[in-house]
Structure 1
Amino acid sequence: MSSPTESALRELPSSRPSQHLGVDSQLQRNISYLGKHQFAPASPEQQQRGAPDLTKITLNKLLGRSRTKPRPPATLKQLETQLNEFFRVNQLNIAVSETTSIRKILAIVCIANGKELEACCHLIASHANCLRQQIFLRHLKSKLRADIIKQPMVLNLDPNHLDVDNRCSITSSKTVMSTVKKLPSEWYVVQVTAVHEPLKDSRHRIQNEEYSYLLKPTHGLHLVVIPTGENAIDPICITVPKPDGDSSYDLRTEIEKLLNNNKSDLTAVYCNKDLYWKMRKKQNDQMSIAIQELECSWLKEWKILFQADYIDNLDLVQDIHSMIDKLIADDNTSRKTISQRTRWLLKKIATSAWYLKSFEIERAVKYVLPTQKKLAKNIILSIIAKNKVIEPLKDAKRKVLLLILDECLDHISFESMQLLKHQPVTRFPSLHILYALFEQHKSSIKNGYKIVHHSDNIGTFIVNPSLDLMHMETRIRSFLNHWLPKWEGLYGIKPDIEFFKKALMQHEILMYNGHGSGVQFMKGEDIERMRVIASVLLFGCSSLKLLPVGGRQAPYGVSYQYLMACSPCILGMLWEVTDGDIDRMTAEFMSKWIPSKVKKPWSDVDKVSWNRGLIEYTNKDKKLTRTIIENEQDMLLAVAISKDVCKQFMTSAAIVMRGLPIKLVD
């Protein structure tokens, strides 16, 4: 039986298939229309005021019901059929931008049809299409070399886990649950996808001298929570609209302006130090305001979806969950109609209430329960009344957050949100890459962490290979000699390819302190051909930045090449940073994460003396009585805590991780 929406629409007249990519002309017109409009569902308040739902308006126009431009109407089912036919006819090597766009369109159609699981699967398939094809092609090249010239084949990410043939063998609506149930239950996965945008706007421009951003305005977002583990429920999708248009301030444009000017601001010549520090303060304020706007104006109450499930204070969490269950059970009119999805969202709102204002709690609950007004009121009042009881959860430990970001959002520091302060967070370009990397390392993953066993010479380093960062070399040399004296590496020497390969393939940790990401010494193409064992720490400017490559291709970076080579984890910077600030964070992080045989913690070292290359303790204890030093085994958590020593917010916000959670054990 057709839905009321479909029954109200007349049938689409048949049309001859187009020769362009196997898509008929009606579908091309539909896609063209979607390319001109941004849309998001109406909020509960707008619905109560009778405001139109932008998703319905967009779909009505897409299906031929526009009053301003008559067009033969179609049903949602027929539109979905045409879009799926596109992928059936073009199973491999179709244009990346078209693939991403049509997946996002299909997601909107599925949401309108009430097919949330299918919508989530299409959004998952919209991520990292270019990267997944590149991994597939790299695999083919390696196989050809093995077959033709008998070169040993390097086994990296398995293309069978990447769905490059558009059949979505591991992430379709029929298979995605079996895939995510194989992932550790200790993970909490959230995918952030930009809503569909015109293909003409998806082109990535390259400037003559600088890689710059396009100053795109803020848009809507699809937030997809992907539960993992044996007891995982279906993925949940919430679409948030772009911020209200009343203000002239656009946070994405402001962030991109700031980042476009960052390098020139830092390298400019200033008449005096006061002008320089005023510039740094202005940068910090601009980025801080933008991150606040990200939480308050863009994500609004749905920022709580970024809060991973608790692993501490579980008794309190269970009490809150029981309260929600009891309120639902006591409501005779609703208890039989409340879905598992609705319960999950209500419990997430309740356990995250310590971070929400009362009106945000009300707005979120009414969104989840749009028609059950009595139940919604009871739940809102109960959550607000328990707010003080819930507050201890603010400092409770949480699961690891694995953040899957749309490539056009990768330059935004979601990790800097106050909600994620001191929380373990890592990034992935897509669920496919996450799953493929997990499969490569699963034998060494325990309780959600890849286990790395510590030894005195576990790592190596490359410091100041360009010989123009002498102050940085002085600081890092004195730290390594003091904290990790058994480590061997290079100071002030350009590494040859053999040293670089040995560092990546024979050590568990490679620390690089120099300009950029080190690709000036070893090409990314060479990294792709390797099987990298090391977790790579790139403390150079823009070392994890995704660079535009031109045309409609997605941005690309060396961190992707390390992931292709199966490196378990990569740390780096999203933009340019200054050496003094990042050196402080480097020493703090390394001393917090990696054990040492020294007698005093790094916090006792006088940092003024260290800046000159001297190790002196603030507490002049001549006997140097050994103090018990507690290290943080969780690499992600050690990074999050170590950001506190950065004096500049721009520095701490630039630091991100990609890859698997790592735990260093004795």
Structure 2
Amino acid sequence: MEDFDIFTDEINFMKPVYTNILHDFVKDVPATPSSANYQSAQRLLAEECLLENKEECEFHFSESVSAAVRSLAVYREDQHEITGADKIKLIAPFTNICDRVETKSLDKEDDLLNTILSEGVKTLKLRSNEEIPFHKKYMRFGPHNNVKNLLKILNELPKEWTIVQLTARYNPKENVKPFSEYRTDIDGIFLSILTNNYTDKPLTVLVPANVTKEGELPLFKELYSILEDNYNIIDKAQYLNNKRLIRNYWSRREDIDLRIKSVINVMDKDWLGGWCSMLTGKLSDSKLRDRIIHFVDSAISDWGFIKLTAKQKILLYNLMDCSPVLQSQQIKSCIRQILTENGNNEELRNVRNSIKCQSCSNEFRFPNELCIKCLSQCFEEIHKFTLVDGIKAFSQVALKFKDDDQWADLKKAKRGPVIIIVDEMLDTFPWESLPALNQQPISRIENIHFLYSLFKTHEESIKNGYFVTKSEIGRYVINPGQDLQRMQLRMESFIKYWCGKWEGRVAEPPAPGELLNYLTEADIFLYCGHGDGCGSVCVGSGIGAGAGRCVCLLSGCGSVRLSGGEGRAPPAGPHHHLHVAKCPCVVGMLWEVTDLEVDKVVSTLVALSVASEAPLDWRHVGKTKWSQGEIDVSVEQKPRTPPERNLLRAICRAKQATNFLMISTSIVARGLPIKIIDSNPPNSSV
């Protein structure tokens, strides 16, 4: 803290005191910091940098998510390096015991202890930080986590990727209360583009959240209310014993579906709106991208917007790129925010000081705290142009992209994969189900550190932005708890029909060590049962060996859900352990689901992405008695469904196998984008 005279009321300092404290905290961060405190400090620093338009902004945001998982990865890495007597390595990086032992005479016991420890430490051959591969070093906490290295990482990652981070605003309650007590108290999120089709530098915008309409719960409270009701409905389904209760069950399921649909509509129309454009993938056709830039630049020149910043132009490029799938009102609202809230903040503050307004303060932090009247007057003063005309100018450009025949290809243009880094506070939302995104290849990841680590681990297998794998070696575990009989019959009959060469366990848990072998030797691992099915192995030390190479498909309730620990313990999920073990991708469910509908989605997903020698397309197989373990292949031959070896796109298509929105919105992918190549069997559906 700054020094000051306690006998006066004058405090002289160059920067706000709390900013200096934050910088000192981050600079002096220990090797294993408290994840909650570390994340809060980084988020606050990021906000300050955004206010001051500093390039460190996105770096601090990148450090503010899933810090505890990094500690887990480092711990497991150290465990893996240690064998037998070398376990003293665990304490060596955190102590300098030899240097601290005084040379004065010691009693016999202390002298013996000193000898043992000294000899042990002296014989260690610890790798220095310089010798550790950079992707492992960056996972650790220290001065090497900086803006320069973040940009280095982003330049190394595949150019096909669009990487976006969603971060909740800082909330003081997170430092003193359990997650469950503040998880709905969010008033805004930061959208940070790390890599994108239109910029070579990261940028961030602030989007207000928790939009509330009269008579409705705030968005975050409504989502958690839906999930609680969904859990209760499914949990009590086993006790239904008459027709009236069964009818009531289906009625409540339909009501839950309507409510989740309403949440998605609010996210789409009233919350994100046109900012969905920041979550869309890169156009595969670079010529189409260049045409969009030229068209927007021409409009800027024609209308005379000479004071638009580089950030505003990039945001407009993205908005116009996505305009064919957005509604006109979403586009206009986003244009207004781009023009008034994402320009030169210093210039905005200077102009705002000359405007008198009863409802706004000159001491605002972010422009969205000002009323529309103030923003409009500031815009007109800066650009010598009315805000209405500005919105009209770019709305006309968007209309060209939406309706002009020469831009017809834009709506159906192929795009690269999107990887979203989602703050734990925001992870429960079904981002992939937003209308503008529901056909895009999207995957989630814990943070940029894990993304970079998985990329470097599997770099040789990544082609054109996708981890390329086969499906020849498949392993599965079906109904190990022996209490989902109909699910067992359905999925066992499907596996035998479509993936006959796969091996696994049915109606029994794997033998000790067997599940670990599945995860390390298979191309694809499928689990069908309660929960994630990997808990015992994930928590054990074996999974930390880092040998995982398989794509994991976990179809149980909440199999990739983040669950909060006691007190201030950070949320965690099984996919964390699987990513620590270097499994490239984990597909699973965000919340409770029912077996029949999930079986439809998962079997469709596998049938789309895995080549098969089966004589008949899975889509056309007779399934009248599927719940009895019987499938009918004596049906009319129809054209085969086009396969989809891009796993993320296959997930989009597989969601259509169920009519329940709570089921289709639950399935998400976490990790690297995946492509499953064919082995060209005789009757392959290629």
TM-score when scaled to structure 2? 0.79
> In the alignment, what sits opposite 1:493?
508
Q: Does 1:193 align with 2:210?
A: no
> In the alignment, what sits opposite 2:298?
326
Contact 1:194–1:221, Cα closer than 8 Å, also in 2: yes
Over 3 Å counting, the alpha-carbon distance change for 1:467 and 1:603 in structure 2 is same
> In the alignment, what sits opposite 1:399?
416
The alpha-carbon deviation at position 483 of structure 1 amounts to 1.0
> In the alignment, what sits opposite 2:364?
none
Consecutive unaligned residues of structure 1, counting only runs of 5 or more, are 1-11, 17-24, 26-69, 206-211
Consecutive unaligned residues of structure 2, counting only runs of 5 or more, are 90-125, 127-131, 341-378, 679-686
Give the AA of the match of 1:442.
E
Match of 2:3 among 4, 11, 14: 14
Match of 1:164 among 141, 158, 166: 141
Q: Does 1:510 align with 2:525?
A: yes
Counterpart of 2:65 in 1: which secondary structure?
coil
Match of 1:221 among 175, 185, 189: 189
Counterpart of 2:148 in 1: which secondary structure?
coil
Counterpart of 2:450 in 1: which secondary structure?
helix
Contact 1:157–1:437, Cα closer than 8 Å, also in 2: no
Work out the CA distance in 1 between the residues paired with 2:436 and 2:329. Answer: 18
Contact 1:425–1:657, Cα closer than 8 Å, also in 2: yes
Work out the CA distance in 1 between the residues paired with 2:139 and 2:322. Answer: 34
The alpha-carbon deviation at position 650 of structure 1 amounts to 0.8
Contact 1:192–1:221, Cα closer than 8 Å, also in 2: yes
The alpha-carbon deviation at position 358 of structure 1 amounts to 3.0
Give the AA of the match of 1:160.
K
Counterpart of 2:612 in 1: which secondary structure?
coil
Give the AA of the match of 1:366.
R
Contact 2:561–2:573, Cα closer than 8 Å, also in 1: yes
Q: Does 1:285 align with 2:258?
A: yes
The alpha-carbon deviation at position 237 of structure 1 amounts to 0.3
Q: Does 1:378 align with 2:346?
A: no
Query: 1:518-529 maps to which residues of 2 (within 5 A)?
Result: 518-519=533-534, 522-525=537-540, 526-529=542-545
> In the alignment, what sits opposite 1:610?
626
Over 3 Å counting, the alpha-carbon distance change for 1:529 and 1:343 in structure 2 is same
Give the AA of the match of 1:98.
N
Over 3 Å counting, the alpha-carbon distance change for 1:436 and 1:232 in structure 2 is farther
Kindly provide the CA deviation profile for residues 319-363 of structure 1, in whole angstroms up to 9, marking residues without a partner as x: 3322112223445661xx544433221111112122333343233
Contact 2:168–2:186, Cα closer than 8 Å, also in 1: no
> In the alignment, what sits opposite 1:140?
78
Query: 1:634-645 maps to which residues of 2 (within 5 A)?
Result: 634-645=646-657
> In the alignment, what sits opposite 1:594?
610
Counterpart of 1:511 in 2: which secondary structure?
strand
Contact 2:171–2:186, Cα closer than 8 Å, also in 1: no
Work out the CA distance in 1 between the residues paired with 2:165 and 2:191. Answer: 6
Give the AA of the match of 1:162.
M
Query: 1:215-254 maps to which residues of 2 (within 5 A)?
Result: 216-227=184-195, 233-244=200-211, 247=214, 248-254=216-222
Contact 1:156–1:565, Cα closer than 8 Å, also in 2: no
Contact 2:563–2:572, Cα closer than 8 Å, also in 1: yes
Work out the CA distance in 2 between the residues paired with 1:240 and 1:71. Answer: 37
Kindly provide the CA deviation profile for residues 152-206 of structure 1, in whole angstroms up to 9, marking residues without a partner as x: x9x99953021422x2x25x2223222101000111111000000114567436x
Work out the CA distance in 1 between the residues paired with 2:519 and 2:133. Answer: 14
> In the alignment, what sits opposite 2:150?
176
Match of 2:274 among 288, 293, 301: 301
Over 3 Å counting, the alpha-carbon distance change for 1:71 and 1:661 in structure 2 is farther
Contact 2:273–2:334, Cα closer than 8 Å, also in 1: no
Counterpart of 1:369 in 2: which secondary structure?
helix
Structure 1 window deviating more from structure 2 (386-395 vs 258-267): it is 386-395
Contact 1:98–1:199, Cα closer than 8 Å, also in 2: no
Identity %: 25
- Paired residue total: 582
Work out the CA distance in 2 between the residues paired with 1:609 and 1:581. Answer: 15
Contact 1:218–1:251, Cα closer than 8 Å, also in 2: no
Work out the CA distance in 1 between the residues paired with 2:504 and 2:82. Answer: 36
The alpha-carbon deviation at position 630 of structure 1 amounts to 3.3
Give the aligned CA root-mean-square deviation in angstroms.
2.9
Q: Does 1:86 align with 2:101?
A: no
Give the AA of the match of 1:480.
I
Match of 1:120 among 58, 74, 88: 58
Over 3 Å counting, the alpha-carbon distance change for 1:203 and 1:13 in structure 2 is closer
Q: Does 1:560 align with 2:549?
A: no
The alpha-carbon deviation at position 422 of structure 1 amounts to 2.2
Query: 1:257-296 maps to which residues of 2 (within 5 A)?
Result: 257-268=225-236, 269-270=239-240, 271-272=242-243, 273-296=246-269
Contact 1:203–1:550, Cα closer than 8 Å, also in 2: no
Work out the CA distance in 2 between the residues paired with 1:471 and 1:73. Answer: 73
Q: Does 1:367 align with 2:341?
A: no
> In the alignment, what sits opposite 1:350?
320
Contact 1:213–1:260, Cα closer than 8 Å, also in 2: no
Match of 2:599 among 568, 571, 583: 583
Give the AA of the match of 2:422.
L
Structure 1 window deviating more from structure 2 (509-518 vs 492-501): it is 492-501
Contact 2:471–2:677, Cα closer than 8 Å, also in 1: yes
> In the alignment, what sits opposite 1:55?
none
Work out the CA distance in 1 between the residues paired with 2:32 and 2:640. Answer: 57
Over 3 Å counting, the alpha-carbon distance change for 1:647 and 1:331 in structure 2 is closer
Over 3 Å counting, the alpha-carbon distance change for 1:294 and 1:587 in structure 2 is same
Match of 1:108 among 47, 64, 67: 47
The alpha-carbon deviation at position 132 of structure 1 amounts to 0.8
Structure 1 window deviating more from structure 2 (80-89 vs 542-551): it is 80-89
